[in-house]
Amino acid sequence: MNNLLRTLHVEKRQWVVCLALSLSTIGAAANESLRTTGSQPAEEVPQFEYDPSWPLRPLPNQWILGEVGGISVDAQGHIWVIHRPWTVTGRELGAVDGDSTCCRPAPSVIEFDQAGQVVQAWPELQQFEAPPGTPAGQGNRVGPNGATLWESVPGPYGDWGRREHTVYVDSTDHVWVSNDESQVLYKFTRAGRHVLTIGDRGVTAGSNDRNRLGRPAGLVLDSGTNELFVADGYTNKRVIVFDATTGEYRRHWGAYGNTPQDIDQGRYDPSAPPPRQFLGPVHGIALSADGLLYVTDRSANRIQVFRRDGAFVQEGFIAAETRDLGTAYGVALSHDAAQRWVYVNDGSNNTIWILRRDTLETVGQFGSYGRQGGQLLSAHSIAVDQQGNVYIGETRGRRVQRFRRVNSP
């Protein structure tokens, strides 16, 4: 009897050990499965909310903004804005010319810190008066009956034009400005000292000219090669590359990496095959950390991706049925390590589209038409800061807004 009990006790203990080992094995497998799954988390599409606290208001010196053409974020996380002082309306200028202390157009280039405080602004402004009888709005420059308007002072800032389009701060802390009226790019120090001009003011010579531009728009620097890539532009139909120090020509290409042709392709037709040349404006441009260029062809509602040598990679379409002025205005990349997301501001539908960078599939959007905070009125330019927040510059809305990233980058 004792032997039988001892046998049963041993068998029970072995069974418990075996059961424990089995459970341990199952648990280990489950944990391994969880680790594997955990290493590949489900993608979370970025979510944003309007930040009414940015920028700080009112602006100093009774400043107000005209049409906001461009916006950029520098290495310090400061936000640079370029606007068009001469687009301040006659009604607002009446306040300037009268006894009121409000308002005055801000200088064209403004630097804000992360809190929304103005750090500096340049160049100085001067008043000019259109000849009496000049029609209101001619060239978007003058008010009714020759009203006194404002423009940037030329001189140390270069031969400044009145259609400020893009501001871009590169990794060397230089500030680049494109002016799509004067056909040139300007390079400045951070304090606004003129360093370099690329192009000939008021002169364009087509999409295969190596020295002149055609109403250039967006631009981006490759700090590794010191090459400046330019979306060129409203008149020309290409990407062109220059040495960022000397301004010397490097190369250029058109849609799909082809040689650009200045031909009339007619208006965009969503039912037709995609145009083989850029329809234009060739408007926005961004460079990813892995060396891919993202270029927006605004009226064709598309974004094309290239290697830095101009080799075509892929294209994607944004609200392809839209006609009007097109959907693909500016382009920016998310600030996570893999830059998984592409943001495209759509100035026709007044929304911001979110695309997967690997496939260019549209997966989300934010913003809607209107004048209220968080709504958009001609969303013309876009930038992303180091925290993943998105900044939008509006032409008709004449303001810049911040949308905070509310989920993890």
Q: How confident is the model at residue 96 (pLDDT cuts 50, 70, 90)?
A: low
What is the per-residue pLDDT for 305?
A: 98
Sign of the torsion formed by the C-alpha atoms of 185, 191, 192 and 198 = negative
Cis peptide preceding 233, ω within 30 of 0:
yes
Sequence spans of domains, the chain: 1-35, 53-405
Cis peptide preceding 58, ω within 30 of 0:
yes
Mean model confidence pLDDT for the chain = 84
111 burial via Cβ count (<10 Å: 0-12, 13-18, 19+): buried
Tens-digit pLDDT profile for residues 293-331: 999 999 999 999 999 999 999 999 999 999 889 999 999
Judged against a pLDDT cut of 70, whether residue 142 lies above it is answered with no
β partners of residue 356: 341
CB 287 within 8 A of CB 220: yes
Tens-digit pLDDT profile for residues 330-375: 999 999 999 999 999 999 999 999 999 999 999 999 999 999 999 9
Query: Percent of the chain scored above 90 by pLDDT?
Result: 68
- C-alpha 365/C-alpha 352 separation (Å) is 5
28 token code pair: 């280990």
Third-level CATH fold of 53-405: Neuraminidase (2.120.10)
Whole-model pTM?
Answer: 0.84
The phi-psi region of residue 358 (left if phi > 0; otherwise alpha if psi is between -120 and 50; otherwise beta) is: alpha
Q: How confident is the model at residue 397 (pLDDT cuts 50, 70, 90)?
A: very high
Judged against a pLDDT cut of 90, whether residue 18 lies above it is answered with no
- Residues 6+ positions from 408 with CB-CB distance below 8 Å: 44
- C-alpha 21/C-alpha 193 separation (Å) is 75
CB 325 within 8 A of CB 348: yes
